[in-house]
Structures are given as C-alpha cells and as structure tokens.
Amino acid sequence: MLHIVLHEPEMPANTGNIGRTCVACGAVLHLIEPLGFKLNEKMIKRAGLDYWEHLDVRTYVNFEDFLEKNHHPKIYMATTKSRQTYADVTYGGADEDVYLMFGKESAGIPEEILLDYKETAVRIPMLPEIRSLNLSNSVAIVAYEVLRQQGFDHFQREGQLHRYEW
C-alpha cells in the first residue's frame, strides 16, 4: 500500500489536490500537525472535489506520534536537499507498504528529520534556478513512479472513447 505523508502542510488547496491523488492511487494520506488550515475548510473539499469523502486520511500531533502509530516505517523523504533522484530508487514491491513524506510548502522537511533518512531521501530533478515544484505536483510525480515500479497492479490501464472507436 502507498502512504503519502505531509509534514505540516500549509495550503488547503494543495492538500485537497493531494487527497484526490491519494484516492486515485488507493493511497492513505497522513497529515502531521500543525496544519495551516482546518480539515473542514471549503478549499480542501473544493480541490478534492467529491473524492474527499472516499479518502483515508489520518492526523498526528507531531512526527514522533506518526512514527509510533505506524511502527517506525521505512520512509522515503522527498526533498530538494537529496543527492539521489526519485527515479534512482527501487521502492517496495506491490505487497509492501511504501511511505513517501513531503514537507510544508514554505520550508520542506526539517533538516533535523532528514539527517536520519539520508539513504531514503529523494529529489525531483529541475533546473537550478527553480527552488521547488508545487507540493501537489511533487506528490503526483513520486507517487506514480512508485506505482509504475509496481506495475500499476490493480489499476485500470486502458481507456476508451465514449462516442467513437479507436
């Protein structure tokens, strides 16, 4: 199972978009407080559309609470400070839980947390002039790499036209 972990997210629209991505991926969304918004805000539900009611979302008072309640999982830390890219890593198989953690929009994951995750820290390559990508875009990029590596197991892989034939 895929788990998306947001450490102190600040923008409700990003979290709503990420919630929608989690529903599409069958992922659990973990939110580590403090949050920069309330979970019942309209912006979250608007961004998540009618998918929010189908989301498995869990909250934690801090990072230590998250670790304890999830039995100290192996976590891949998405950060611009990593030396390896998200595509350089082999994530767990389809039967393994994969945790992807992303930091808050204004500052990322605190460096004191990253120090313990050097081997599982990953970055999305980008031009040097760019500080970072939008949080919800970053989540989608890395999450779908995990799913790609797992062969998109249990996912609809083909679409069809409604009024025409291919």
Q: Could you tell me the residue range of the domain that residue 140 belongs to?
A: 2-149
Q: Is 138 annotated as a binding residue?
A: no
Q: Is 103 annotated as a binding residue?
A: yes
Pairing verdict, β 98-102 and 2-7: parallel
Q: Which residue has the tokens 């939008």?
A: 134
Residue 20, pLDDT score? 92
In a domain, 161, yes or no: no
Neighbours of 62 (CB within 10 A): 13
Neighbours of 107 (CB within 10 A): 11
Name the more confident of 102 and 166.
102
For residue range 84-132, list pLDDT tens digits in order: 999 999 998 767 899 999 999 999 999 999 999 999 999 999 999 998 9
In a domain, 155, yes or no: no
In a domain, 165, yes or no: no
- Indicate which CATH number applies to the domain containing 124: 3.40.1280.10
H or E element in which residue 23 lies: helix 12-25
Query: What phi, psi does 60 have (nearest 5°)?
Result: -140, 145
Is the pTM above the cut of 0.85? yes
Q: Round to whole Å and give the CA distance between 82 and 58.
A: 27
In a domain, 160, yes or no: no
In a domain, 166, yes or no: no
Domain count, the chain: 1
Stretch among 35-44, 96-105, 151-160 having the lowest mean pLDDT: 35-44
For residue range 56-89, list pLDDT tens digits in order: 999 999 999 999 999 999 999 999 999 999 999 9
For the chain, the residue count is 166
Q: Round to whole Å and give the CA distance between 13 and 148.
A: 26
Query: What phi, psi does 108 have (nearest 5°)?
Result: 75, -160
Edge to edge, what strands does the sheet with 98-102 contain? 57-60, 28-32, 2-7, 98-102, 75-78, 121-122
DSSP 98-131: EEEEE-BTTTBS-HHHHGGGGGGEEB----TT--
CA within 13 Å, CB half, 98: 25
In a domain, 162, yes or no: no
In a domain, 164, yes or no: no
In a domain, 95, yes or no: yes
